[in-house]
């Protein structure tokens, strides 16, 4: 197995990580990423297999659980109840209860609201050149999740600020100042939600928080701490990824001069799936080995950790023809952007709906959109999203 060195904060990598993924894939199914001190795989079969293999999981084996510094305890107290970080039986219980409230019917019913909000945000755009990220891509998902949860829309700026500060904890360029902002945001977010959940218990409404409170299975319900962690997860995971995907998707559509017909009702699903495959928002996800296991010639020992390079898997030539080309008319098949297995993204239907509704409206209302200069990606790894998206109208 080869050891490769590539700083995730290197400017060239930040702007285009895909050549490194291609080089890594050429060495075999696994390589050692020296900068992370982590065994990683860019191989689609290995990524998909490990995501679905119950001998691997998100939760560290008990004997390897890292010590949490005192100053970071508020953040990890929220993580301790997040289904993203848990394994069965706790994960099974939490996910089951959440899905009783976060139903496909409830999500599908948001389509008219997403459409109207898209029009409203476009109406509010300034004349002349625009930056699509703050004016559209950031606002749409955070307002929709606020409405879905039942949180006042006036809180959306606070939710956005808290979310941005908290997800910075996962970035390769994390600093002490970023940790301080994340802890402050966590404290404010938890305090707000604790009060808001108490208010919804006393005064139920037709919103997701009320339905999460009421969700019950065999007499079991979510605790207040679990409700808080779930609401934060739905906002942070869903919002961060959708913002980047809207930006990355619009960039890809404009750079490749994709025909507007790709956004027609009979083609929009395939186009959105290609956006999600081609330049996804999340590039690296980790798993722990829970027992000794062989995968594609590599022997894992219990306690080994592996990095799954989702974006690299999405461009594996063993699965995709011309993987480095953006081809909206390619046949739809599964990609790794939402994960797989027990931890398949609970918010995937909402993210897909937002993209399928908002993108056709954006390009129909602003048919002359074109790039105003070369878009630059922000130093966010293991996320991948733009600093700004300046457009001529």
Residue 218, pLDDT score: 78
82 to each of 75, 79, 310, how far by Cα in Å? 11, 5, 21
pLDDT bin (cut points 50, 70, 90) of residue 150 is: very high
Residue range of the domain that includes 144: 3-392
Q: What CA–CA distance (Å, rounded) separates 301 from 318?
A: 27
Q: What is the model's pLDDT at position 39?
A: 98
Question: What is the pLDDT, as a whole number, of residue 217?
Answer: 79
Q: How far apart are CA 93 and CA 152, in angstroms?
A: 29
Residue with tokens 């559209």: 136
Nearest one of 116, 115, 138, 118 to 389, comparing CA atoms? 138
pLDDT tens track for 195-217: 999 999 999 999 999 999 999 87
Share of the chain above pLDDT 90, in %: 93
Residue 66 has pLDDT above 90, yes or no: no
How many domains does the structure of the chain reveal? 1
Q: What is the pLDDT of residue 153?
A: 87
239: confidence class by pLDDT, cuts 50, 70, 90: confident
CA atoms within 13 A on the CB side of 127: 0
Distance from C-alpha of 118 to C-alpha of 86, rounded to nearest angstrom: 35
Residue partners of 206: CB distance under 8 A and separation at least 6: 150
* CA trace torsion 20, 335, 346, 282 (10° rounding): 10
Q: What value does the mean pLDDT take over residues 282-309? A: 97
Classified as helix, coil or strand, 8 is coil
Helix (H, G, I), strand (E, B) or coil at 4: strand
Q: Which two tokens stand for residue 391?
A: 């457009």
Is pLDDT above 80 for 29? yes
CB 281 within 8 A of CB 241: yes
Q: According to the model, what pLDDT value does residue 52 have?
A: 98
What is residue 391's three-state secondary structure? Answer: strand
Q: What is the pTM of this model?
A: 0.95
Is residue 381's pLDDT more than 90? yes
Mean per-residue pLDDT over the chain, rounded: 95
Weakest mean pLDDT among 27-36, 62-71, 160-169, 376-385: 62-71
Distances (CA, A) of 15 to 304, 317, 337, 373, 383: 30, 21, 19, 15, 12
CB 195, CB 48: distance < 8 Å: no
The residue among 153 and 119 whose pLDDT is bigger is: 119
Chain-centre distance of CA 359, in angstroms?
Answer: 18
The beta strands (E) that lie in 231-300 are given as 284-289, 293-295, 298-300
Average pLDDT of 340-364? 96
Is the pLDDT score of 238 beyond 80? Answer: no
Residue 298 has φ and ψ, to the nearest 5°, of -105, 135
Q: How long, in residues, is the chain? A: 393
Percent of the chain past pLDDT 70, that is, above it, reads 100
**Structure confidence at residue 212 (pLDDT):** 94
**What CATH number corresponds to the domain at position 61?**
1.10.630.10
Mean pLDDT of 81-103: 94
Q: Supply φ then ψ for residue 35, to 5 degrees.
A: -65, -25
Q: What is the mean pLDDT of residues 75-99?
A: 94
26-41 as b/e: b if 16+ CB within 10 A: eebbbbbbeebeebbb
């Amino acid at each position: 197995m080869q050891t490769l060195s590539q700083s995730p904060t290197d400017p060239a990598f930040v702007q285009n990580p895909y050549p490194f993924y291609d080089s890594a894939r050429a060495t075999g199914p696994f390589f050692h990423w020296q900068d992370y001190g982590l065994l990683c795989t860019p191989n689609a079969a290995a990524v998909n297999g490990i995501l679905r293999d119950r001998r691997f999981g998100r939760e560290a084996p008990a004997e390897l659980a890292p010590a949490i510094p005192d100053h970071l305890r508020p953040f990890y107290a929220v993580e301790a109840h997040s289904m993203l970080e848990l394994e069965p039986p706790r994960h099974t219980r939490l996910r089951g209860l959440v899905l009783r409230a976060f139903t496909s019917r409830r999500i599908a019913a948001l389509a008219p609201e997403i459409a109207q909000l898209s029009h409203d945000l476009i109406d509010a755009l300034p004349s002349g050149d625009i930056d699509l990220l703050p004016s559209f891509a950031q606002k749409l998902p955070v307002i929709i999740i606020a409405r879905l949860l039942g949180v006042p829309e006036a809180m959306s700026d606070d939710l956005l600020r808290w979310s941005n500060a908290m997800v910075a904890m996962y970035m390769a360029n994390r600093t002490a100042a970023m940790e301080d902002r994340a802890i402050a945001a966590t404290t404010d977010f938890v305090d707000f939600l604790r009060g808001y959940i108490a208010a919804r218990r006393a005064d139920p409404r037709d919103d997701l928080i009320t339905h999460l409170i009421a969700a019950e299975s065999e007499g079991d319900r979510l605790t207040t701490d679990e409700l808080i962690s779930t609401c934060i997860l739905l906002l942070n995971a869903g919002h961060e990824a959708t913002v980047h995907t809207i930006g990355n998707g619009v960039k890809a559509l404009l750079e490749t001069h994709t025909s507007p017909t790709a956004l027609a009702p009979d083609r929009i699903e395939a186009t959105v799936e290609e956006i999600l495959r081609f330049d996804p928002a999340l590039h690296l996800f980790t798993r722990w080995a829970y027992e000794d296991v062989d995968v594609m010639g590599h022997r894992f020992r219990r306690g080994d950790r592996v990095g799954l390079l989702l974006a690299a898997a999405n461009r594996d030539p063993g699965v995709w023809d011309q993987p480095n080309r953006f081809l909206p008319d390619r046949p739809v098949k599964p990609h790794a952007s939402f994960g797989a297995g027990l931890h398949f993204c609970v918010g995937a239907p909402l993210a897909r709906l937002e993209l399928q509704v908002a993108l056709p409206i954006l390009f129909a209302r602003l048919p002359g959109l074109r790039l105003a200069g070369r878009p630059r990606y922000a130093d966010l790894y293991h996320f991948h999203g733009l600093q700004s998206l300046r457009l001529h109208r």
